[in-house]
Amino acid sequence: MKLDQPFRLITSVALAMGLGASIAANAADAPGVSATEIKIGQTAALSGPAAAYGLLARANTAFFKMINDQGGINGRKINLVTADDEYVPNKSFEAVRKLVEQDKVAFMYASFGTPSNSAQAPYLNREGVPHLFLGTGADKWGDQKTLPWSMGFQPSFRQEARIYTKHILTNDFAAKIGVLYQNDDFGRDYLKGVQDVLGKLQADKLVKAVSYETSDATVDSQIVSLQAAGAHVIVLAAIPKFAGQAIRKAHAINWRPTMYVASGAADQPATTDAAKERSGIILFTGQFGKDPKDAVWDKDPGMVAYRDFMKKYMPSEDATNPLPVLAFNTGNLLVRVLKQAGNDLSRQNIMKQAESLKNVPLPLLLPDVRVNTAKDDHYPVDQMRLGRFNGSRWAPIGEVISTSDQPWRVSN
């Protein structure tokens, strides 16, 4: 017995040392993770030309406060660190480097904006930092070969524009189409989507495409040039400030085109207020989430949970704004990923779980819309339906359409 006691002591020490080494190794593999916390990063346009989207970041913060109040995820609280990049690419790059290298976040989540995320993506992918559920529909977030650590959330802008163009030609095969687009990946994706459907044989139906810079004061001259080119259908690939300007200017010059509004701008006050005041301009957009302004969802369990969240955690904000809706959906999706990851919160496993989502419903997605991902599929949501603005809200039109599997060309 006496000889056995030292052996037990040595064994216990060895086991403890091994366990300590294991914990240290796991900690080294999981930056931003402790026994009580998961620290995640985000960049947002809290100021600058896209400041209307600052509400998205505030909703993300409120959502994780709710999750933490409920006990967190597997016993760990979520610490969301948000940096204001002002929607300026070089500022976004510097902000994300600080978040990763100084703040030591585990991964980046739901950062807003195509130009901002485009500035971050090369660095994050080089460093192997998950870059998840981004607040942008740029088509490249589905390019898992070039950007294996990046993943969007919503249908891509290019896919969305294909749906718009197919709808345009189905209703008016002789349509003369104009495109107003932001001069970056966001806007150019919409232009590419229009061109995908038209192809070479119908390229002449795109009578004019004009761009703007986010630093521009107005898009008045662009709207005048689209009218002069003879366009009567416009794909409006613009953020809310410029979408609203385009609607107001068209009305002011007594022009009444049909406009297809980028889904990210469609339900923002800067856009809809301009539409409410000016009749005669027909507006369409794409939808993949439930509209909190539509009474059909009043008793829907997901909508009830969302409204309870807004009432408790964001009482001074407009619960009908689509940005908190988006945050509620992506927040629930991230909770799903982290729960699947269990106690292996290494960056590699978090990315693996994000790529392993199968037929997942979310509280505020349309009933027929599901999240699906794989290692070679970084488009979590790839379904939409069209909506038409009726003066107060976007009324749904038709069925849910898959954006990834379509015969896009339209013949007469």
What's the rounded mean pLDDT across residues 75-81? 97
Q: What are the tokens at 48?
A: 């600058």
Separation between Cα atoms, residue 286 and residue 167, nearest integer Å: 11
Separation between Cα atoms, residue 393 and residue 395, nearest integer Å: 6
Q: Is the pLDDT of residue 9 over 60?
A: no
Complete domains list, the chain, with CATH: 37-155+297-381 (3.40.50.2300), 158-287+385-402 (3.40.50.2300)
pLDDT digits (tens, 9 = 90+) for 106-132: 999 999 998 999 999 999 999 999 999
Position 13 scores a pLDDT of: 38
What's the rounded mean pLDDT across residues 44-71? 96
pLDDT digits (tens, 9 = 90+) for 298-319: 999 999 999 999 999 999 999 9
Position 353 scores a pLDDT of: 98
Q: What are the tokens at 210?
A: 């004009």
Q: Bigger pLDDT: 13 or 361?
A: 361
Q: What are the tokens at 31?
A: 């930056």
Q: Bigger pLDDT: 397 or 267?
A: 397
Position 271 scores a pLDDT of: 92
pLDDT digits (tens, 9 = 90+) for 165-195: 999 999 999 999 999 999 998 999 999 999 9
In angstroms, how far is the first alpha carbon of the chain from the final one?
94
Separation between Cα atoms, residue 381 and residue 142, nearest integer Å: 11
Q: Are strands 383-389 and 394-402 parallel, antiparallel or unpaired?
A: antiparallel
pTM comes to: 0.81
Dihedral sign for Cα 147, 148, 150, 154, please. Answer: positive
